[in-house]
Amino acid sequence: MRALLDGILAPSSGAVDDARVDAVVVRIRDLVAVETDPQVFADLADYFHSQVDWESGSNEQKAHCIAIWKALRAARETVAFAALSDPKASCACARWRQVAGDTWLVHAPVDESQLIERVTFDWHSIRFDEYSIYRCPTCKTYWHKDYNPYSNPSYVAYWPYDRSPNAKAMGVAKKTNPYARLWRAKRWRWAVGISILGLLVSSYLQLNAPFAKFNPHRHGVVDWQGFKTWRSDFSIVKIRSIDANQYLVVVLNEQPNLWILPSGPSAYVFDRRGKLIDWAADIGDNNVFDEKWQAQGHAGEIAPTEVDGFFRP
């Protein structure tokens, strides 16, 4: 086989064309059928790569050489994979990872419909068209598809994601999970977003927690008797008439904490049967409540001692 490769590379043999490449590929496949040692093909691939003059020659000539080199790499992977084959295994991805070792694969180890990320990027002033990351749906192993190994765009290679040198150079393969890259690339946005969310939650809690003590429903208050048991600290009581119906408006003496800048005290409205029908934690900030019940006005005030006489059974 090595003699055949030498014949391909010999200057006197002429240009390498498609027919000669096909003949070599057929010979390699024949050898795969009888050879059980993948190292044989690995050595042949390394030997052939070392003998090719990659600096000179036409692009067509290089493409033909790459096709042969790729066939040798594929032969190594095929023989190695067959040696690892386990009919009881549910996923071939783990075996492909063993075949890859510290290098890459020609074979696609995972169905490319499992694409989870594709990116176009610049790195050290070199334009990479794109790289892709795939995930095996069975064993959840990630693979990096490199479109430009050895700066040669004529074929692709598949790396275990955490071993891909291009991914490592971009700082995205420190972990086997590529979603970690999303955090590193946009961590300042995450930090700002989390800070804003924390500020909103904190503001909500700080603004609403002080009013919780004035919420009658949290204390089970539904009528006047329950209210008197809950709060007795009121001195302003008013009677308001709306649509020929009279209502009792009770305003507390206590106001929410000053640090939340309250505009007024809390107020509660009862009908003549003693049922609690409305309330406001801060009558100064609740314009709808104040306009309806005139809680901040002085008209209709009665003495707290007259309240019990207001209600009718």
Q: Output the CA–CA distances (angstroms, integers) from residue 58 to 9, 19, 63, 152, 234, in the order listed.
A: 14, 17, 9, 13, 97
pLDDT of residue 296: 84
pLDDT of residue 226: 93
Task: Say what percent of the chain tops pLDDT 70.
Answer: 73
pLDDT of residue 70: 85
* CB within 8 Å of 91: residues ≥ 6 apart: 136, 138, 139
- Give the start-to-end residue ranges of the domains of the chain: 2-84, 96-182, 217-310
Give the residue with greater pLDDT, 22 vs 121.
22
pLDDT of residue 222: 93
Mean pLDDT of 172-185: 49
Would you say 270 and 277 are in contact if contact means Cβ atoms under 8 Å apart?
Answer: yes
pLDDT of residue 124: 54
183: phi then psi, degrees, rounded to nearest 5: -70, -45
pLDDT of residue 247: 94
206 — pLDDT class (breaks 50, 70, 90) = low
- Closest to 178 measured CA to CA, from 168, 192, 188, 191: 168
Would you say 263 and 285 are in contact if contact means Cβ atoms under 8 Å apart?
Answer: yes
pLDDT higher than 90, residue 221 = yes
Assessment of whether the complete model's pTM goes beyond 0.75: no
User: In the 8-state DSSP scheme, what is residue 125?
Assistant: T
The owner of tokens 């334009």 is 127
pLDDT higher than 60, residue 185 = no
Spatial distance between the Cα atoms of 243 and 129, rounded to a whole number of angstroms: 76
Strand partners, 267: 251, 280
Spatial distance between the Cα atoms of 190 and 184, rounded to a whole number of angstroms: 10
- Closest to 222 measured CA to CA, from 158, 159, 275: 275
